[in-house]
Chains A and B, each alone.
Chain A
């Protein structure tokens, strides 16, 4: 479904990604793990065309994604739940969700999608009139995920959904991700929370200094010596 091929990218003169390749199949739950500064968020931003490629190609369902303008990405069926939520803080929860469904197809199904999303996140229904910026971190993360779902994506990308959340809330968010995956939506997630995400995903890639150094099934990587030493402290 999504193929990232030999991608180089960076900001100005600083190259962050070096020859990164990976793929995500339909209905898969794939995780990219790595330490701070490994280039995880940059990968997400290149897929969303927010960061231009220095080399390589990105394909989504037989279309070159890296030639698409940033605001057109969502029309291809990709939702991006960005790092640190990036909600519209001075707008209500409902307005944030409405802005998630601006494409013509999503707009036509807005009412129906809202009901579905409120079912997944009953908390958001209670708070739909509240300004997004005034909610707690966990609620904001839910709102960001819900906003992504509003576009009716085939693939949803989560960038560090556990950032700044308590372990309990983090578990809630991962459970929600599994629930969304269970509804047939493909997931690409970036996380620092290595142990928990490897346990729930189908496949994972390990990034280090902007390079992919390992790939495999999540549970297998959990047993991998290199992963254990680098991330799990065993």
Chain B
């Protein structure tokens, strides 16, 4: 029983960070109707920024939260403005050119980082990287608890933005009906840039939060693109509440898989859940949460 609860705790903690990363992709999916297959790679870039700040300036990874996500926001806005939106103007034989473009962007980011930093594994070893505390017989890993707490806080901020501000409402309006949004006076093109920037910034925050407990190499992005994709589908393709639940489900499933099946099959468990959802709950968790 203790092992089970311990596994559950670990799963929920990592799930909170997964949810943050997945929310970024979900937001982009909701507004632009494209799957951002460069999502994990954007996160990887943010991790390198955080790593550099730590390595050369001695900046604690949590302070990098003030730098890496804003930097990725700017990069995201630029990607949407100069690489993705222009594709809408071009007639093409494949309607989903933008998705292919994100694949290309992901590759370029990965290879650029490999060129600069080589394929060596890097990590940020802080004083608290392996710190733990006990509540009863359950062991809590300090950086994971901090990561979870900050992920929840950032998610709450995102929801406040989407629900309470005119700009946030404009993002939701553009996702629901782009022509009507234009008639209302919403600059839909700027909203797409803002959304991609926000999505990239959330992936960046997730990466920065993971760095004290994770290792870093140029290919670290791809599995996270996959995780974010699973979360987006689990949540119901564009549902933000669904994505949060999706992140937690994925985290717990991986954690249970690692404990009870095999550490090596951790990622496979996520894929099995993905297939099961597609088969038995094709609308995703959105069909249960209704939002």
Seen from chain A, the residues whose Cβ lies within 8 Å of a Cβ on chain B are: 48, 50, 69-75, 79-80, 82, 86-91, 95, 98-100, 102-103, 107, 147, 151
Contact = CB atoms under 8 A, between A and B. Distances in A.
A69 B184 CA distance: 12
A15 B186 CA distance: 28
A88 B180 contact: yes
A91 B173 contact: yes
A98 B166 contact: yes
B118 interface: no
A107 B186 CA distance: 13
A100 B173 CA distance: 11
A69 B190 CA distance: 13
A94 to B, nearest CB: 10
Contacts of B166: 98-99, 102, 107
> Closest 8 CB pairs between A and B?
A74-B185, A86-B180, A70-B182, A88-B176, A80-B183, A71-B187, A102-B185, A88-B173
Given A71-B187, A98-B169, A102-B170, A91 B182 contact: no
Contact of A74 (B169, B183, B188): B183
A72 B185 contact: yes
B177 A73 contact: no
B179 interface: yes
B125 interface: no
A165 B184 CA distance: 24
B291 interface: yes
Given A48-B183, A102-B184, A90 B291 contact: yes
B266 interface: no
A87 B169 CA distance: 13
Given A71-B186, A72-B185, A102-B185, A86 B170 contact: no
A86 B170 CA distance: 15
A71 B169 contact: no
Contact of B188 (A71, A98, A107): A71
A50 B169 contact: no
B172 interface: yes
Contacts of B185: 71-75, 102-103, 151
Nearest to A90: B176
A23 to B, nearest CB: 22
16 contacts: A71-B188, A79-B183, A82-B179, A87-B177, A89-B176, A89-B177, A91-B172, A91-B173, A95-B169, A98-B166, A98-B169, A99-B169, A99-B173, A102-B186, A107-B166, A147-B184
A73 B183 CA distance: 7
A91 B176 contact: yes
B265 to A, nearest CB: 38
B159 to A, nearest CB: 14
Given A71-B181, A151-B184, 18 more contacts: A70-B183, A71-B182, A71-B185, A71-B187, A73-B183, A74-B184, A82-B180, A86-B177, A86-B180, A87-B180, A90-B172, A90-B291, A91-B169, A91-B176, A98-B166, A99-B184, A99-B186, A102-B170
Nearest to A44: B183
A50 B176 contact: no
B60 to A, nearest CB: 40
Interface in B177-203: 177, 179-188
A165 B187 CA distance: 32
A192 B144 CA distance: 63
Contacts of B183: 48, 50, 70, 73-74, 79-80, 82, 86
B66 to A, nearest CB: 30
Nearest to B172: A91
Contacts of B179: 50, 82, 86
A162 B187 CA distance: 29
A79 B187 CA distance: 16
A139 B186 CA distance: 24
A107 B181 CA distance: 16
Contacts of A98: 166, 169
Interface string B243-286: 00000000000000000000000000000000000000000000
A69 B188 CA distance: 11
A100 B176 contact: no
Nearest to B239: A90
